[in-house]
Amino acid sequence: MSLGAVEISVVIPVMNEAQHIRNTLALIAAFVSQSSSSFEVIVIDDGSTDGTWDALCLAASDLPQVYGIRLSRNFGKERALCAGIEHAKGKAVLVMDADLQHPPELISKMIDQWRNDGVQVVEAVKRTRGRESLGYRVGTKMFYGLIHRLTRYDLNGASDFKLLDRKVVDAWLNMPERATFFRGMTAWLGFTKKELEFDVAPRTSGTSKWHFISLVRLALNAVVSFTSWPLRLVTLIGILFFLGAVILGIQTLYMKLSGSAVTGFTTVILLLLGMNSVIMLSIGILGEYIAAIYDEVKGRPRYVVRENTSTLSQRWQGKR
Ligand code: UDP
Ligand code: MG
């Protein structure tokens, strides 16, 4: 396959999906081949520990379109996505999960929208969310509500199942931040959009890779990279408390001078507790942003590649 001949690049991040990855990739490739004769499937092994890489190498020997990139450790889905998008050469890039929760039946529709109607970003949005725990459901609702309120992006129902035109991909690649948030960044970029609804299918096998802490981290990262508003809130709260302190100070002095000062134990305790919690919270917010700045300033690569499936490395020799 010569450079530039690829029409569709499918990008799939995987982590510990050994049980089904070979079949899944064959299925996805079959669906893509119905719509496009020249495509590649770039699969990024995000530090799997269960033999996913071996299964991926087998899949690559089954199908010439499959290329595997193995990261040196688990970098998280967002970084794995970056690796895939950076290596994709297609005129359009289709991003999806490996567990068939993103129905491959939708692929041909997405490609049609892009090819025939000139839509630059085809987004698959969740009509129903499949089986999720109550906590997860409430958590995502709160998270998207917060994002919508803090920014102007409504990501409710958004998924990482998207098709991006080369123009959008190039613009995306030009965004230099280390901490990426794929859904938010594509929303930020704009371009012409079209949404297609889908129902989240049950996972083929295995379990979801997210746990409470990683979801909180993702949510914090998203809020911090898309807002600076909480920082201003800290200042505003500071000003309000300062005004309150001035008024209370004047009143205290007046009481003292007029000789009617009472020992206000409760007031002191309440003020102390209130002020301290606000200060701690404010420092926490500042800390989040400073940590994000620190990460960006370090400028480390978003991911490190350990190896590629041989076809891919051969392909690259001509490119780099
Ligand atoms: N994934 C990944 N790195 C991670 C976690 C997940 O590459 O650290 C992949 C995973 O293999 C799957 C996709 O990201 O292809 C979505 O993950 P998962 O199905 O666990 O998430 P959910 O569907 O529960 O949101
Ligand atoms: Mg899933």
**Angle formed by the axes of helices 182-189 and 212-226, nearest 10°:** 20
Ligand showing the shortest atom-to-Cα distance for residue 69:
1
Residues 16-36: tens digit of each pLDDT: 988 889 899 999 999 998 888
pLDDT classification of 297: cutoffs 50, 70, 90: confident
Instruction: Read off the amino acid at residue 86.
Output: E
Residues 251-271: tens digit of each pLDDT: 888 887 887 767 776 777 778
Q: What is the biggest distance separating any 2 CA atoms in the chain, rounded to whole angstroms?
A: 92
CB-proximal residues (5 Å) to ion ligand 2? 97, 99, 101
pLDDT classification of 314: cutoffs 50, 70, 90: low
Residue 44 CA, closest ligand 1 atom number: 7
CA 119 → CA 111, 112, 114, 192, distances in Å? Answer: 9, 9, 5, 6
Report the distance separating Cα 100 and Cα 104, nearest Å: 7
Instruction: Report the pLDDT averaged over residues 191-213.
Output: 79
With a cut of 90, say whether residue 291 has pLDDT above it: no
CA 2 → CA 5, 6, 38, 316, 318, distances in Å? Answer: 6, 8, 10, 11, 10
Which one has a higher pLDDT value, 58 or 272? 58
237 CB-contact burial (10 Å; exposed 0-12 / middle 13-18 / buried 19+): middle
Residue 96: the pLDDT is 93
Report the distance separating Cα 267 and Cα 255, nearest Å: 15
78 lines ligand 1 (CB under 6 A): no
Report the distance separating Cα 255 and Cα 208, nearest Å: 62
To test ligand 1's pocket by mutation, which of 79, 209, 221 has the most ligand atoms within 8 angstroms of CB?
209
Closest CA to 41 of 102, 87, 82, 76: 87
Residue 318: the pLDDT is 43
102 CA distance to ligand 2 middle (Å): 8
Q: How many helices (H) and strands (E) does the chain have?
A: 11, 8
Report the distance separating Cα 43 and Cα 36, nearest Å: 18
Instruction: Read off the amino acid at residue 42.
Output: I
102 lines ligand 1 (CB under 6 A): no
97 lines ligand 1 (CB under 6 A): yes
The answer to whether the CB of 96 falls within 8 A of the CB of 28 is yes
Q: pTM value?
A: 0.72
Alpha helices (runs of H) in 39-76, residue ranges in sequence order: 52-62
80 lines ligand 1 (CB under 6 A): yes
79 lines ligand 1 (CB under 6 A): no
Report the distance separating Cα 239 and Cα 104, nearest Å: 53
